[in-house]
Structure 1
Amino acid sequence: MATKQDDFTDKFSYLSVKTQSGMSTNSEINSIWLIPYSFKCGYSFQCPLTFKQLIDRQLSQKYFHELLLVTEQNHKIYDFHMRLRSQGHYGLAVDFIFNNAEDQSGPVKSEICNWCDMNNQLSKLNLIKQNPTTCIWFDAQLKNKLIITPQRHIERLSEMTEEEMKQFWKDTKVALDEEGCDWQSMTLNHGKYRKQFHLCMKINIDQHQWNQCIKKKYEEKIKQIQDLLKCNEHDPIETHSTDRKLNKWSEMRNDKIKGKTCTN
């Protein structure tokens, strides 16, 4: 009797065969990389290529697109915690955690989208780099992680265009290279697993590397953020928003600017 696991695996294998058709050896997505291994909270996929190799071979968009296609479209799983784990020289593991989705509450509706609103002092300080399609940030609570968000206000990784997704992963690699540090894991929450509506990826970095590479480089910037957080412990975003009418997600906006988007 076919199980859910067998059905899941068959669909991944079929999709992989379609992807490999007409592609050169160096740009193939091997069907083995798309076999899900069940664990308590969901499924995990093992890729023998490292994160860097996926990007260098221009396979990152294709690989993650296939995983999302089956998860969201074929299996109708929209609430999940997506986690990338570095396996060193052994490649990459991608986990989809979804079995406890009913225990998640999802994002709370807010007047503003923190990632779109650049009119508050905290967002200005947290921003490290602004690229054409992505932004690199400090974590709002200054934990040892970098945050990458798409410039365009989207809520799911699968909502990205092909070019946006290619650039998203490329910008992630470039940011890590520029900061001179490795990563331990990367997480993207979807649906009920989210805390905010705007898609964001958290890049977790070893504490020692964070101290050596990030903390030293941005010492003054981090001090300014710490001072700001101390002054407004309860809601620094609320306190330092200067013109929330310009934010698409603000309920305060008037009819005159109703047609504006988050990036305006």
Structure 2
Amino acid sequence: MATKQNDVIDKFSYLSIETQQETGTNNGINPLWLIPYSFKCGYSFQCPLTFKQLIDRQMSQKYFQEILTVTEQTNKIYDFHMRLRSQDQYGLMVDFIYKNADDQSGPVKGDACISCDTNNQLSQLSLIKQNLTTYIRLDTQLRNKLIVTPRRHIERLSNMTKEEMIQFWHETQVVLDEEGCDWQSMVLNHGKYRKHVHLQMKINIEQHQWNQYIKKKYEEKIQQMQHLLKCNEHNPIQTCVVHQKFNQWSKIRSNQPMRKTCTDMKGK
């Protein structure tokens, strides 16, 4: 029954797109999808297509580029928390939270980027898939999140090329299909809302599905990450990101003396 209902909704969405094209919208994006609806902390865009439908119809890059243009170029908003929310078969909501930007401190900039430093032990352990343009990782803080990052060092979603953005969204859907789980929300922080300089997208997974699919599949990898995190008495994430010379797990070492970690002392 649910499948039939989804098919009907999908057909209505398809007819809607066809109607838009007949009335002069040559890119398949309904102008109504690009109207921001204000709420207390920012505004939202409403799309009647699901995330998967946008990708299957090759509309994801165009749609997200359009709403980024509204936000960054038209409204001149550069510091924001961008959040995708699934409305199940009723489509997609994209929130832009920006009104408390002055309260945000932004990322701590240093010489090292954990997303770019593929020699970093934590990066290696958290990696579950590498594609032509993206990395897919477990969250380095072991939360029920998958992390998607572009392989090229990019700080804003709008900095991607057309092809990179197409692949970014496509590979996100592919990994969700492969892991067999649904998503609750996807978050991309920009400007002062970031904790990392390199663009990251956090895919939040419901706890039960996380335990059933992700945690069970990557149990050994997660245990290794837990051990590595416990080995450092300081904040390991901060250690990795802030400055290369303090990155205890990277094989790219500076000439300054390093404190030994559990990993270094394991053979002794």
Question: 1:239 pairs with 248, 251, 265, which one?
Answer: 248
Q: Indicate whether 1:184 and 2:184 are aligned.
A: yes
Tell me: CA distance 1:164–1:22, structure 2 relative to 1, closer, same or farther (3 Å): same
Gaps of 5+ in 2: 1-19, 241-246, 257-268
C-alpha distance in 1 between matches for 2:121 and 2:138:
13
Indicate the residue corresponding to 1:84 in structure 2. Answer: 84
Deviation at residue 21 of structure 1 after TM alignment = 4.7
C-alpha distance in 2 between matches for 1:152 and 1:100:
29
Indicate the residue corresponding to 2:264 in structure 1. Answer: none
C-alpha distance in 1 between matches for 2:139 and 2:253:
21
Tell me: CA distance 1:83–1:22, structure 2 relative to 1, closer, same or farther (3 Å): closer
1:210-256 deviation per Cα after TM superposition (whole angstroms, max 9, x unaligned): 000001101111111111111114143322122057xxxxxx9xxxx
Alignment of 1:153-232 (within 5 A): 153-232=153-232
C-alpha distance in 2 between matches for 1:192 and 1:106:
4
Indicate the residue corresponding to 2:105 in structure 1. Answer: 105
Q: How many residues align structurally?
A: 226
Counterpart AA for 1:125: L
1:158-180 deviation per Cα after TM superposition (whole angstroms, max 9, x unaligned): 00000100000000000100110
Secondary structure of 1:52 counterpart: helix
C-alpha distance in 2 between matches for 1:74 and 1:190:
17
Gaps of 5+ in 1: 1-16, 246-251, 253-264
Secondary structure of 2:188 counterpart: strand
Contact 1:50 1:91 in 2 (8 A): yes
Contact 1:83 1:185 in 2 (8 A): yes
C-alpha distance in 1 between matches for 2:253 and 2:155:
20
Counterpart AA for 2:77: I
Contact 1:119 1:244 in 2 (8 A): no
Deviation at residue 115 of structure 1 after TM alignment = 0.2
Secondary structure of 2:248 counterpart: helix
Contact 1:112 1:244 in 2 (8 A): no
Indicate the residue corresponding to 1:62 in structure 2. Answer: 62
Contact 1:48 1:91 in 2 (8 A): yes
Counterpart AA for 1:241: S
1:23-80 deviation per Cα after TM superposition (whole angstroms, max 9, x unaligned): 3xxx611111111110001000111100000000001000000001111111111000
Counterpart AA for 1:220: E
C-alpha distance in 2 between matches for 1:197 and 1:34:
28
After TM superposition, the score normalised by the length of structure 1 is 0.82
Q: Indicate whether 1:72 and 2:72 are aligned.
A: yes
C-alpha distance in 1 between matches for 2:217 and 2:206:
16
Tell me: CA distance 1:216–1:98, structure 2 relative to 1, closer, same or farther (3 Å): same
Secondary structure of 1:99 counterpart: coil
Indicate the RMSD between aligned Cα atoms, in angstroms. 1.7
Indicate the residue corresponding to 2:14 in structure 1. Answer: none
After TM superposition, the score normalised by the length of structure 2 is 0.81
Tell me: CA distance 1:242–1:88, structure 2 relative to 1, closer, same or farther (3 Å): same
The percent identity for this pair of structures is 72
C-alpha distance in 2 between matches for 1:132 and 1:192:
29
C-alpha distance in 2 between matches for 1:244 and 1:72:
38
